Structure 1
Amino acid sequence: MAIALEGTIGAKQSSVAVAAPKRDTRLDVLRGLALITIFINHVPGQIFENFTTKNFGFSDAAEAFVLISGIAVGLAYGPNFETGTWLQTATKAMRRAFTLYLAHMITTFMTLALFLTGAWIFHRPGLLCEINILAVLTNLKAGIPSLVLLGHQIGYNNILPMYGALMLMVPLILVLNAASPLLALVVSGTVWLFAGMYEIAPHNMLIEGYWFLNPLSWQFLFTIGIVGTVHVYRGGKLPQNPVLLVLAATYVVLSFAWVVGQLWSLGIALASLGLPPVLTGFDKTFLSLPRLLHVLALTYLVINIPVISRLLRRSADNPLAILGRHSLNVFVAGTILAMVGQVVLYINNHDRVGGPIFVVIGIAIQFAYAFHLERKRKLETGSRSRLLNRALVPVPVRVDRSRDRR
């Protein structure tokens, strides 16, 4: 997941100040793969779901997405960050968080509309009992404010609130990292540990429990991405050790065997050790240690196996690179399409043929949308370039030589 670190950052350091470095597409490709995986997992009950990453290890696309986001934030905010520019960085991060909030509101209320419409038109009231919708409908007076205030999250609409909360933490993470990268990791890891041990998380307002993805836990993975990126940008090296490589590979294989072999009963043995569940369990809300270690082990393997780097390095016009380049817009579109898919599959009683067909069509629509956004971006970039060129063209000065002739 973090394979783009050294390639991207090295290009930035060796470039001339006036020439922007060529964009490294590996992060975009990985982000595109994560988007496709998330979409497939958000349309449960169809065959493609059996082949996504969650079936072959402790972590899934959500962990990859958050780590990639941390790397991207490190590239965007980290290189030029100074303690004196904290306010400017905080302003940018807040704007991004607000954008994520608006995107979340769009997907949330579109989901409500889709499920209500499906229940009404096709006479399937059972749709209203799905994905935490009923709690809103039975108490609209409290339900709508809860949605707006992020005190209630509809199922499969819970990544963006967590990501928005992480963006609000960016200035603090960068301040700690400027003081000491080790300090940033220690503080972040301590927050993660205490949040998991004592179940400290934003509470729901309509139903019992917490946010499905606790930002106080997930910030540790996000911080690792930021700190690692800034470290390499400043000339540091990521650890390369044969022993670590063997340990990472062993852990990934163990995770694969555990999940594929359905060895979850071994979790009882781990729990009997008396350690906190955040260290021995597999909970996604508090990002338990086995899940965290799995995504980090995968990342270490990706970084240190050159053939994977070559496979991920695609041209800027590669469909996956384009998909990942427009990740937020595509994610919003994919979430809405996934909710359509859930309604369709519910109405068709999870038809074995209709589900896979819908997923293929949905992925095709997301690629088409990404290509549309890319074409629009290129047109806008070309228009700005033409305007800039016109502004830089010197205006000929007309000299009046009539007096000289006199």
Structure 2
Amino acid sequence: MSSVAPFPGPQKDPSAANRAAPPPDAAQPRLRDPRLDFYRGIAMFIILAAHIPGNRWTGWIPARFGFSDATEIFVFCSGMASAIAFGGSFARQGWWLGTARVAFRCWQVFWAHIGLFFFLAMSLAAIDLHGGFEKSYVNSLNLGHFFKDPMPQIVGIFTLTYVPNYFDILPMYLVVLMMMPLMMGLEKVGLWAVATVSVLIWLTANPYMIGLGPNGISFPAEPWSDREWFFNPLGWQLLFFTGFAFMKGWLPKPPVSRTLIILAAGFLIFSAPFGSGKVLGWVEAWNMDLAETIRPTWKTTAEWREKTDFGLLRYAHFLSLAYLGWVAAGTGGKRLIASGQSAGARIWAVLLQLITKVGQQSLAVFVFSMALARFIGFALDQTDRAVMTTAFANLIGFFLIIGCAYGAAWFKSQPWRAKK
């Protein structure tokens, strides 16, 4: 992150020389890192496509080509954004006020989760009640238990002991945010303490790493079964705090090295059949002998690539992908800053602006897109889901989340408070 100070012009007022200079630590306007908002924006588009039921485009999202997917981008970038938004509060205002700011954000995320659940539950119930469709849209999200016995499920929604699969990422994000005061307190002991505790917490979700069996600590997702949260915050906090550490300066910037580029790209390419059933299917079509060699390993690495507890292979895969993204963006993200007057440069500038705006308003866009995806899926159910129809539906969805981002930014700017 860089800061921008105003350039001092000629001193026309003689008294200006006698004015007190601002303190060296005075707040200065800061430029957002373009890499953070760009890649988080990309994740938002992928997340929308991934959650549209029966979407042809989901066959080409990152999850189909390796261990990690857009969820890792979202969590990692959220950690980086939290270092900017909250890390400074801890440094400037102290631990208690920093914790208070985190608590306020947790409050916002909690109500975003509650609002999303009840809005979608109501919307799907309205479709089932008045649509006359053979398909039950309530059951498509496995909400039958909620409507059959709502009293305990309402309590469960508010206490996070009932977390339906579609509504699982915000509770995970909420719990990870609640760990931030702990990590900021440990910073005073030493960065080694932060790293040690984060790894130990991750190991409670992934005990197989130290030979303690396959079952780690998890959070119950519903009272009538032993299903756990689909995203275990004890595992995913490792990725969040990795992003936090890079942006906070706890971890050094990775060097741009041809050797590291080759290693990262090689890992992504050669691990693809082991992390993706889609790629393994391609290998089977190409070479059955090679596929038969890969398949036993693909089965035995299930714990290492598990999404729920954030297995180690997912971590390694994402770090490799993130490193290549870091290199591709250039120093300071210079390749993500549009320049030039050619038609191609102007188009690139517009795309950068739109993607970046979506990344800047990630919480609002995420909540909106999760609801929007179900409505787009409903609309597609009324069609033949042809290639062009699906493409049109996805593009309309992209257009709407861009509109959501600009709308959220407008409301946050509070234009009604501007002085005339």
TM-score normalised to structure 2 length? 0.79
State the distance in 2 between where 1:346 and 1:155 align.
21
Tell me how far 1:298 sits from its aligned partner.
Answer: 1.1
Q: Which runs of 5+ in 1 are unaligned?
A: 1-7, 388-406
Q: Which has the higher contact order (CA 8 A, sep 6+)?
A: 1
List, as ranges, runs of 4+ consecutive aligned residues in structure 1 with deviation greater than 6 Å: 12-16
| Residue 152 of structure 1: how far off its partner (Å) | 1.9
Q: Which among 163, 170, 192 is matched to residue 182 of structure 1?
A: 192
Change (3 A) 1:146 1:355: farther
Please name the residue that 1:365 is paired with: 400
Q: Answer whether contact 2:3 2:29 (CA < 8 A) is retained.
A: no
Tell me which residue corresponds to 1:4.
none
Q: 1:110 aligns with which of 119, 122, 134?
A: 119
Write the distance in 1 (CA, Å) between the matches of 2:158 and 2:57: 33
Q: 1:303 — aligned with what?
A: 326
- Cα offset, 1:345, TM superposition: 3.5
Give, in whole Å, the separation in 1 of the partners of 2:194 and 2:185. Answer: 8
Shift of 1:221: 0.4
Q: CA deviation at 1:43?
A: 0.2
Shift of 1:337: 0.6
1:211-245 CA-partner distances (Å, limit 9, x unpaired):
11010110010111112221269xx5435555433
What SS does the corresponding residue of 1:211 show, helix, strand or coil? coil
Q: Kindly indicate whether residue 350 of structure 2 is the aligned counterpart of residue 340 of structure 1.
A: no
Q: Which amino acid aligns with 1:203?
A: P
In 2: Cα distance, 1:16 partner to 1:28 partner: 26
Residue equivalent to 2:218: 201
CA-atom RMSD, angstroms? 3.0
Structure 2: which 5+ runs fail to align? 7-23, 208-214, 282-290, 339-348
> Does the 8 Å contact 1:128/1:134 carry over to 2?
yes
The one-letter code of the counterpart of 2:121 is L
| Letter in structure 1 aligned against 2:46 | T
Q: Give the aligned residue type for 1:161.
A: P
* Aligned pairs (5 A) from 1:30-45: 30-45=39-54
Give the partner amino acid of 2:148: T
Segment of structure 1 superposing worse, 31-40 or 169-178? 169-178
| The one of 292, 301, 306 aligned to 1:283 | 306
Deviations 1:4-39 (A, max 9, x none): xxxx1x448999734312233321111111111100
- 1:104-155 per-residue CA deviation (whole Å, 9 max, x = no partner) reads 1111111111221222222235323222211212322222222222222233
Deviates more, 1:17-26 or 1:371-380: 371-380
**Counterpart residue identity of residue 225, structure 1:** G
Residues 291 and 76 of structure 1: is their aligned pair in 2 closer, same or farther, counting only changes over 3 Å?
same
Q: 1:89 to 1:12 in 2, by over 3 A?
A: farther
Query: Contact conserved, 2:103 with 2:178, CA < 8 A, in 1?
Result: yes
Give distance in 2, aligned partners of 1:267 and 1:150: 37
Corresponding position of 2:280: 262
Deviation at 1:41, TM superposition (A): 0.3
Distance 1:201 1:350, change over 3 A: farther
C-alpha distance 183-94 of structure 1, shift in aligned 2 (>3 A): same
Mapped to 2, the partners of 1:150 and 1:245 lie a distance apart of 42
1:246 aligns with 2:262: yes
1:209 partner SS: coil
- The 2-side partners of 1:203 and 1:18 are apart by 44
| Structure 2 residue corresponding to 1:75, chosen from 71, 84, 93 | 84
Distance between the aligned counterparts of 1:148 and 1:34, measured in 2? 28
Q: How many Å separate the matches in 1 of 2:34 and 2:412?
A: 17
C-alpha distance in structure 1 between counterparts of 2:295 and 2:25, whole Å: 53
CA deviation map 1:256-308 (0-9, x unaligned): 35434226973633665xx8x54x3x211101111111111111222234559
Q: Give me the whole-angstrom Cα distance separating, in 2, the residues matched to 1:257 and 1:269.
A: 10
Q: TM-score, normalised by structure 1?
A: 0.81
- Deviation string, structure 1 residues 311-367 (Cα, Å, up to 9, x no partner): 333579811111111111111111111121233344557565544332221211111
Partner of 2:14: none
Q: Which residue of 1 aligns with 2:232?
A: 214
Q: 1:267 to 1:224 in 2, by over 3 A?
A: farther
In 2, Cα distance between the equivalents of 1:220 and 1:267? 29
Percent identity over paired residues: 25
Q: How does 1:1-12 map to 2 (within 5 A)?
A: 8=1, 10-11=2-3
- Number of corresponding residues: 370
- What is the SS of the residue equivalent to 1:179? coil
Question: Which runs of structure 2 are paired with 1:63-142 in the superposition (5 Å)?
Answer: 63-79=72-88, 81-82=90-91, 85-123=94-132, 124-142=134-152
Once the two structures are TM-superposed, the CA of residue 81 in structure 1 deviates from its matched residue by 2.8
Identify the residue that residue 167 of structure 1 maps to in structure 2.
Answer: 177
In the aligned structure 2, how far is the partner of 1:118 from the partner of 1:187? Answer: 47
Matched to 1:48, the amino acid is W
Amino acid at match of 2:142: N
Compute the displacement of 1:79 (Å): 4.0
